[in-house]
Homo-oligomer: A and B are copies of this chain.
């Protein structure tokens, strides 16, 4: 993977990856990848991240069913950030966040507070019951 050697992996061997919804352009989430996560993402066509909290590969959707189909992979000028264009799959499509919302960026700053501006589309208790 010569092309992977061009990336600037951090001290933990990770690189941040922004997931953006193809079509809408909505920014869904930011997670991290190591080399194996990136290789699996390209091989399977579905987003695979490295979970820093669980310290293991995380095939996004493995528990929730909310997989991400990869359409395009981009790298920034400094080669230290990835941008994935994805379709957010699932029994109920379009839910990227573990809170059951479309995007993880569902809180907006206003008047000195973080205000929730996106609805819960599916109850997390239902998402993670399976």
Contact = CB atoms under 8 A, between A and B. Distances in A.
Interface in A4-54: 6, 16, 18, 20, 24-27, 29-30, 42
Contacts of A113: 3
Q: Chain A: interface residue count, which band?
A: 35 or more
Contacts of A104: 76-78, 81
A108 B24 CA distance: 19
A107 B75 contact: yes
A127 interface: no
B75 A27 contact: no
Interface in A72-130: 72-78, 81, 83, 97-99, 101, 104-109, 112-114
Nearest to A117: B74
B112 A3 contact: yes
A101 to B, nearest CB: 8
Contacts of A62: none
Interface of A: 1-3, 6, 16, 18, 20, 24-27, 29-30, 42, 72-78, 81, 83, 97-99, 101, 104-109, 112-114
